[in-house]
A and B are shown apart, each in its own frame.
Chain A
């Protein structure tokens, strides 16, 4: 099981450590530091490291290394999932998960960790449940707390702690009962220099905001569930119902949560018409070169693309660029050699262009070819064509307000040159 957890800054300082079994000396981290010193970027450290009798599993998130030290056999994914859960809980409590915030609230974090894990076994990891045990603080509650000395910690056992639905807190009451769903679909795709699609996947997320009183039991059905190829559900979803009837039956947690992640079927991916085209042209040889990137909409049925941004890491031999863009702003970072071109809204049928010359360090020749990554969003559209049929509620007798919104975004959308 998990022995200890260390939080380490990118510079290698341990700023929080929690031991659930023996207190381990920081020497166990040597193997991690060794790997860190070898890695070219903080992302590149192998997540599972072995050092003597200990194994070190870590994730890198919010510019913090969350490092778990384990001994004996334990599924590595279990540890990684737990660490990710930890980061998301910290984010919920601290609003943003940074080293400074954690340092500021170190006792709170300690209390949270104490509730999340016992003897290396995960205990309460549902945000809803934790919030019942330890109230999240904000400026107002801090002030009240300082004046009244009222506890931030529950002194009674939350009912949900042991219920079959640990994700839902009990006794929820709202004046206005609402349930909103955002269906976000991300297009992951690789396009080669001829414009042909090499690989394309659609990954969808159903994010919900639930403000419903009592213990509502919901059933969500889709018009075309066949589009969904593979799903992973929030623990609240009853997997067997999905297995047999292709509908999602669940008692939602209170507040916002991700109900499901899904992979659209291969067929819907192959028939997908990409809403954007990007044609990067680079002629980088010795001394100087030229580049041009064109971006335009296609197949959007008159809709405009939002938040269009092109990110283009240039080869390290590039010294500077002098470019002109027809739409939007661009920046070039001479250290990381990245061109960021913020186009913003791209009107349907319009073409944006970024062109100019590139100066290359004399005496070197460019070998690597830049790959362009593209970001955009297309509101009110689901790339896979998925449509919600209806959301029904049982067990409670009020009429909630229900809303659903679709949006298509770029995932890792890369164009090779």
Chain B
């Protein structure tokens, strides 16, 4: 009769009824009752209230009843620790029973009771059982040590159980050995000290290998895994281990086979190359792996993932076996995809014909994912085997003729990759591709097509027309397509400037003005700057020869591969991720979201992002993408787009220098360039925009780690601009301007710095009061340079006692002017919830120098002449720098070099700098020809002499070495 009968009950008081039965005198009835209880337990009914009655049945010599009661106790021990404690005596007594089965059962069950108070009662019986005369008890006890370690690792070490376990490695019974190995390896997995303590030597490894033949299949896996951890001294040891492991390859248990493969992969590397045995081992590896592929699909999958690693290291062992990786239509999809991957890895000139015809066959299968991957595989073949490229392209063309949407789309993507490997060949496919434009509705396929059009624009008659239809729907496209469209239009413009001006203007407009995607805006601005400043450079950048892609792009890195090969048969080998990336002892560090599938579908990044001027994948979190474009925006003339290149309007007040016709005042200037003619030549004549270096600097700094701010939630705008642009930029150390004593516990230190053309006041607020401070506000008094805070202090949370916070505050010049003494004095008020504090600080002059302080030699000369000689001041500054060093340092701080002259062995540097309030200072630095340089003579001229001493001080600080 079936156990289902235990579930049926006709009366209401089920529990009460069970209780009566449990107290019955008759053993059979008690047993039946316990069975009923267990049955209820298995379906999740709460029978915990019967605990005392069930435990009462424990004192029986009937083994089945005992087992059932134990099963019950295990289930409820956690919720009824007190009662469990009462049953402990029975366990302890049973652990000394005459019947080894009962001894083992008792020690086994005790180990499973995960109640802290029980643990102390386990130690003594466990110690006895580890030395029991019966191997069955010993092997059970070995596992019990692992259980104990799971609950209380320090206890295991303190009580010396590790040593007892190690002793068991030399046990005459192989099962005991195997279980000890298993327990030891689990313990060492979760504690490094135990790992150190359980390191095995060659003698122990020999003993383990001797036990290998006779222990269970599971034990063999444990032993082989332990052997694989061992580091042999020399090739001799390695070979003798190999010899003993090789027979395991014929075991029926796939886990044993794969663990043996793991050992062999490790040790055969250590056998000297000239040894014949090495080849012999290598030849033995392939057949068992192939045999695994005729097993159940789940086993196949794990085997395939491992084979995938092995063939990357040693493709030759599987070369002859490529046919076993041919896909059968009833394989599960995860097996199909994996087989496909390995097939491509094994593809070579010899088998390419066969592989291609298989792939073509797969492309007509039903499963969409698999079809896509097959089409992609054709592309990988083309890239891998040069001589097959032609054939692959023809196959792809055939597939495009099918007009099946997803096949065509995949084919387009693949053909793009083929062009990356074989540029300027197979152009005949472009035509059929263009005929299938309507079929492309996936971003990657559209982006690929647009890339091809951009790249081969000159060979497609209506390329501009095609792109312009794409541009019409620009807003609806995904970012990937938009980025590609932008690039391709720019490419086309550089190739066919005459008829694509409107298009390029439109697309730049869309990218920079209409889009709120920072990547897109960024790229838009970069192209735009490039085109407007130096079209030749633009051409060099945009139309640069791209590095060819190769098949290596989808191989794992050698170091990674080596690490993974050491992990064959483990989870790492299935995920193709090193163990420390997801398993740390027992606590995985981070979550992997179905990495298997991710890897299967992932295309190597090299194939995905070409043309990326802005590294898209590097360190761009959602936070920092906001910024670059925002900082750029103010400098970009609103309506000065590239379309205007022909009637070039660079009316920005920032534009200075470069062309002789410019005056210092920065009044707008129009340079008309006639349309027609050699447009690119004309573009070459377009003036140089000094903003450009800063722009590129900005983008470089995108990748820099922000410094100086510790507050993560800090205003991203500021955080962005925090990085030091140039190592030579002078940033004075913070000075305490408001000591805690004066500030009611608030200590303020301040420095100023110039970043991204704005002045920042960097403050450190230190709360030395006992209360948290909050609601910070800041205000500047009127000052000489009209400085005013551009925003408020970004302090979101209260500043806790004894904590400090770093804040950057952008500063602009919108305050009323009042001349201070000295000029750079700045009075600041900081308000907190508690009080308002006023302090004085001094703005270093150099942060006031603006970025547009460069003059051309002619203007410099005129200006120098205009300033009366009375306004000249001379000073000597000690420095050991040469002229290049001086220029580098000064230019980093916005004192710009106009020219360098060499007269009578003396070098003369002409420098200019401009204050934010349009005060100009011109200087001449004389470097004598004595060697080594110790000092330089600086003459400065300015209409406002008051600033000159301050500028001297700044220069002195900049040149200090």
Contact = CB atoms under 8 A, between A and B. Distances in A.
Given A22-B114, A52-B588, A263-B287, A199 B4 contact: no
Contact of B39 (A78, A106, A201): A106
A149 B174 contact: no
Interface stretch (A156-164, A172-180, A343-351): A156-164
B569 A84 contact: no
Contacts of A315: 366
Contacts of B586: 53, 71-72
A110 interface: yes
B255 A81 contact: yes
B175 A243 contact: no
Interface in A295-342: 313, 315-316
A125 B219 CA distance: 12
A43 interface: yes
B214 A240 contact: no
A136 to B, nearest CB: 14
Interface string B38-72: 11001100000000000000000011100100010
A199 B361 CA distance: 14
B61 to A, nearest CB: 8
A223 interface: no
A277 interface: no
A84 to B, nearest CB: 6
B390 to A, nearest CB: 22
Interface in B370-411: 402, 404
A112 to B, nearest CB: 12
B438 interface: no
A171 interface: no
A75 B225 contact: yes
B571 interface: yes
Contact of A77 (B43, B214, B252, B254): B254
A198 B323 CA distance: 8
B62 A149 contact: no
B216 A166 contact: yes
Secondary structure dominating the interface of B = helix
A46 B596 contact: yes
Interface residues of A, number: 105
B291 A232 contact: yes
B175 A162 contact: yes
Interface string B582-615: 1101111001111111000000000000000000
Contacts of A192: 357, 361
A62 interface: no
Given A50-B582, A162-B175, A80 B254 contact: yes
Contacts of B365: 368
Interface string A190-215: 10100000110101000000000000
Contacts of A44: 332-334
A273 B39 CA distance: 57
B506 to A, nearest CB: 39
Given A77-B258, A162-B173, A414-B329, A118 B366 contact: no
Interface in A122-160: 122, 125-126, 142-143, 146, 149, 151-157
Nearest to A167: B216
Contacts of B658: none
Given A48-B596, A50-B595, A78 B361 contact: no
Given A154-B63, A199-B324, A232-B288, A48 B4 contact: no
A94 B430 CA distance: 64
A256 to B, nearest CB: 15
Interface string B143-168: 11011001000000000000000000
Interface residues of B, number: 115
A157 B101 contact: yes
Given A48-B301, A153-B63, A155-B62, A233 B320 contact: no
Interface string A76-100: 1110111010000000000000000
A121 interface: yes
Interface string A361-389: 00000011101010000000000000000
B136 A261 contact: no
B257 A232 contact: yes
Contacts of A242: 247, 250
Interface string B1-14: 11110100000000
A143 B1 CA distance: 7
Given A121-B179, A162-B136, A156 B99 contact: yes
Interface of B: 1-4, 6, 28, 31, 35, 38-39, 42-43, 62-64, 67, 71, 78, 99-101, 104, 108, 111-112, 114, 134-136, 139-140, 143-144, 146-147, 150, 173-175, 179, 182, 186, 189-190, 213-214, 216-218, 221, 225, 246-248, 250-255, 257-259, 287-288, 290-291, 294, 296-299, 301-303, 320, 323-324, 326, 328-330, 332-334, 354, 357-358, 361, 364-367, 402, 404, 569-572, 574-575, 579, 582-583, 585-588, 591-597
10 contacts: A46-B594, A48-B302, A48-B596, A50-B595, A59-B296, A80-B296, A119-B147, A142-B1, A231-B291, A262-B291
Given A75-B255, A114-B71, 12 more contacts: A44-B332, A44-B334, A58-B298, A80-B254, A82-B218, A84-B296, A107-B35, A156-B99, A156-B101, A157-B136, A232-B288, A367-B402
Interface of A: 1, 16, 20-23, 31, 35, 40-41, 43-53, 55, 57-59, 71-78, 80-82, 84, 103-108, 110-111, 114, 118-119, 121-122, 125-126, 142-143, 146, 149, 151-157, 161-162, 164, 166, 188, 190, 192, 198-199, 201, 203, 229-235, 237-240, 242-243, 258, 260-263, 266, 313, 315-316, 367-369, 371, 373, 411-412, 414, 416
A-B CB proximity, top 5 nearest: A230-B287, A239-B247, A199-B323, A104-B2, A153-B64
